[in-house]
Amino acid sequence: MKRSIRTSLAAAGFFVLAITAALASPQASNRGPSAKRPNILLIYADDQRADTIGAHGNPYVSTPTLDRLARSGYAFRNAYCMGSPHGAVCAPSRTMLLTGRGLHHVGDRIQSAPLLPQMLQETGYTTFLTGKWHFWKTETCRGFDRARSVMFQGMSNHEEVPARDLRADGTWSEPESRGFSSTIFANEAIAFFDDWAQGSRDKPFFAYVAFSAPHDPRMPPPGWRRTNPEDVPLPPNFRALHPFDNQDMRTRDEKLAAWPRTARVVREQLAEYYDLIAHLDHEVGRVLEHLETIDPDCMVIYAADHGLAMGSHGLLGKQSVYEHSMKAPLIVKGPGVPVGESKELVYLHDIFATVHGFAGSTPPKGTDAIDLARCWTGEKWPRDELRLSYGKDQRSIRDGRYKLILYPRIGYRQLFDLEEDPHEIHDLAGQTGFEIIEEHLEERLHVGALADGDRIRWTIDPKRTARFVIPEKRETDRWQPEWIRRKYFGERLPPWDRPPSSNAAQVDVEPHATLVVFEEFKGPTSLDRFATKGAALHAGGGLLLEAADGDEQAIAVVRGWRFGSFVASIDLVRATEPSQLAGAPDELTIHTGYDSTTRQNITQVPTPNREKLHLRVARNIGTGELHVSSIDPATGKEQRLCVTTLRQYPLGAFGVGTTHGQWILKTIRIWSDDAEPSPLRVD
């Protein structure tokens, strides 16, 4: 555990006055209102990471539309959501966007301030909305002349969107499903452009198109499941487990895969995520192509509400202040906007002031947004640091190079050099040579928090701990479609026979890994050639072993033991897809020292012999039973160690190979539905 957070706020008053004065400066750029006010299209995606655009360096996701937009517009490479007071980060991001106020001045209280469409309406704009609104109550949706296929909730099955329309009398239609989400919203935007062109050209329009993709459920439409998971690389900062409990690791987002994360599951979800983005890109392309025929001079802003972990740091959701979760794409294109990009530190809610600038209007007093046009007009950007927040548990500040993250309630901290380490892998907190940087950023964070209106308590909560205990059970997410609930939350296969009480060690490992049993393990210790790290095993805990080259990982989750201990080696079986045994696809459980036939502990006969087997299935087996037996060295009698039920699986491999020093594993027999046992080949 790293040292606790200091609470010294020396000279804080001076800094607060300085920051307040800086933020009180004019928010708009020096652009004057043009003779003809432009049409404005604001596209807001949902849960899209900043690194999911091909033109920005990701060759694994197909985004030809966004690539063209990035190459013909002005891209902001350091655009951030300021954070959230809770797990539904999408809501405060939208509140900040539509009010121009920072997180601690507005939160997700969208009714507490006038909205951007209301202000544009008052200046003569025709305003339009389609897509995700998120704020549930219809009365929160204000300032739109026309609203079609609006989704008031935070998420839905993409194929069953509860779309509602604003009627002429101000009431809303009953929700109905109209197709796949991205297609629905694109169709509505195109229809609005046509209607405007036919009858409202005397008034400029502001169109807010809020796609709900690529937010989960990760379910690309038919014909768009194109990415092979095996072709998708893991994020550079992929981890099976987050190194500590960040105090929000049991949210809905994190339940979409079991702990520890496996490379296979993360790759599968990344492939689905990329395919959702590819389809979103296609629908955005339809919108922009049609808009080009209506008004080629329309100002276009493309952004997303925040990012998503997707396996980075062992996380899946957006409930953290890491780069992958708070950073999002932001591209602006239109007359007067040059082609280029900026690395200035901007917030997504700066879009609020930027739209006002395009419209020739002035943001209201009290807004925190800054007109992004300052970046491309050559004016000095007034913000040289950003502060990020999540709940009561995480606070962060970054400048042009370094980023400090504090976890106040558990007294934990991280420091990253984003210039050398953009994926936040190497924690520098507490290391020699970085003390001054760490102290400076912490002081700036405390002072800036006061200016932001952040009333967080910086004291440690003695009831909280940084130790993360893997949950024994994941709750089903009702928002997921049935097929995803089966896939990610389905009941496990029938477990192996387990002794009612036994001294036997029990452990679950990835089926990719060869299981290696150590007769005695009194860690922490080096684990020979099998790993670069070791740690003591505790019931309910986990052990992460990393290969020397950092390329492969294997996991052992300890269920409780007294006799010996199990760890997973990094000696992986590299054949085709592994066979799915009981507890698969994520787990393989081996019991030793117990006869499942007699339900008695097997008499232990010490032997120096050790043997390790790698077994490959010669053909498909189908359903049946797997019997693992051993030979008593003293009597030569075969005894069965464990039984499992197989389900159908393709030709593949499973690693049973054990060395336990008590029983020598001699025979593995598989009884399928056929009378004839399936042949095996032993490597």
Full 3-state SS string of 256-298: HCCCCCCHHHHHHHHHHHHHHHHHHHHHHHHHHHHHHHHCCCC
pLDDT at 549 over 60: no
pLDDT band for position 64 (50/70/90)?
very high
pLDDT, greater one: 660 or 303: 303
Q: What is the mean pLDDT of residues 591-613?
A: 33
pLDDT band for position 333 (50/70/90)?
very high
Q: Which of 76-80, 90-94, 223-227, 460-464 has the lowest mean pLDDT?
A: 460-464
Give yes or no: residues 366 and 515 share one domain: no
| End position of a domain, from candidates 381, 407, 440 | 381
Q: What is the mean pLDDT of residues 264-281?
A: 95
**pLDDT for the residue 108:** 77
Q: What is the mean pLDDT of residues 339-351?
A: 97
In a domain, 70, yes or no: yes
Q: What is the mean pLDDT of residues 472-487?
A: 69
CA distance 20 to 17: 5
pLDDT at 505 over 80: no
pLDDT at 414 over 70: yes
Q: Which of 257-266, 290-299, 407-416 has the lowest mean pLDDT?
A: 257-266
**pLDDT for the residue 634:** 59
Q: Which of 234-238, 281-285, 496-500 has the lowest mean pLDDT?
A: 496-500
- Determine phi and psi for 669, rounding to 5 degrees: -120, 140
pLDDT at 75 over 90: yes
CA distance 146 to 170: 10
| End position of a domain, from candidates 355, 381, 407 | 381
Alpha carbon dihedral 640, 642, 645, 648, in 10-degree steps, equals: -90
**pLDDT for the residue 249:** 84
pLDDT at 117 over 70: yes
pLDDT at 429 over 70: yes
**pLDDT for the residue 3:** 42
Average pLDDT for the chain? 73
Number of folded domains in the chain?
Answer: 2
pLDDT at 463 over 90: no
Give yes or no: residues 366 and 498 share one domain: no
pLDDT at 561 over 50: no
In a domain, 348, yes or no: yes
pLDDT at 385 over 50: yes
Closest CA to 326 of 396, 234, 261, 410: 396
**pLDDT for the residue 151:** 93
Q: What is the mean pLDDT of residues 385-396?
A: 96
Q: Which of 60-69, 189-198, 378-387, 669-678 has the lowest mean pLDDT?
A: 669-678
Who contacts 463 (Cβ-Cβ below 8 Å, separation ≥6)? none
Q: Which of 15-19, 93-97, 98-102, 498-502 has the lowest mean pLDDT?
A: 498-502
Give yes or no: residues 299 and 169 share one domain: yes
Give yes or no: residues 496 and 627 share one domain: yes
pLDDT at 135 over 70: yes
**pLDDT for the residue 470:** 81
pLDDT at 671 over 80: no
Who contacts 97 (Cβ-Cβ below 8 Å, separation ≥6)? 44, 116, 305, 348, 349, 351, 352
In a domain, 428, yes or no: no
Percent of the chain topping pLDDT 90: 51
- Exposed, middle or buried by CB within 10 Å (0-12, 13-18, 19+), for 472? exposed
**pLDDT for the residue 14:** 37
Percent of the chain topping pLDDT 70: 64
| End position of a domain, from candidates 381, 412, 437 | 381
pLDDT at 364 over 70: yes
In a domain, 418, yes or no: no
Q: What is the mean pLDDT of residues 457-465?
A: 84
pLDDT at 647 over 50: no
Pairing of strands 83-84, 386-390: parallel
Segment holding 70, helix H or strand E: helix 64-72
pLDDT band for position 263 (50/70/90)?
very high
Full residue range of the structural domain in which residue 148 is found: 26-31+39-218+234-381
In a domain, 228, yes or no: no
Q: What is the mean pLDDT of residues 576-601?
A: 32
Q: What is the mean pLDDT of residues 113-133?
A: 94
**pLDDT for the residue 479:** 67
pLDDT at 529 over 50: no
Q: What is the mean pLDDT of residues 484-501?
A: 44
Q: What is the mean pLDDT of residues 584-613?
A: 32
In a domain, 130, yes or no: yes
In a domain, 305, yes or no: yes
pLDDT band for position 31 (50/70/90)?
low
Q: List the CATH number of the domain containing 165.
A: 3.40.720.10
State the DSSP string of 619-646: S---SEEEEEEEE-TTT--EEEEEEEEE
Q: Which of 100-104, 410-414, 554-558, 630-634 has the lowest mean pLDDT?
A: 554-558
CA distance 109 to 91: 9
pLDDT band for position 636 (50/70/90)?
low
In a domain, 469, yes or no: no
Q: Are 58 and 51 in contact (CB under 8 A)?
A: yes
Closest CA to 537 of 500, 507, 502: 507
pLDDT, greater one: 627 or 617: 627
Helix (H, G, I), strand (E, B) or coil at 446: helix
Residue type at 517 in one-letter notation: V
Question: Which of 21-35, 131-145, 276-290 reaches the highest mean pLDDT?
Answer: 276-290
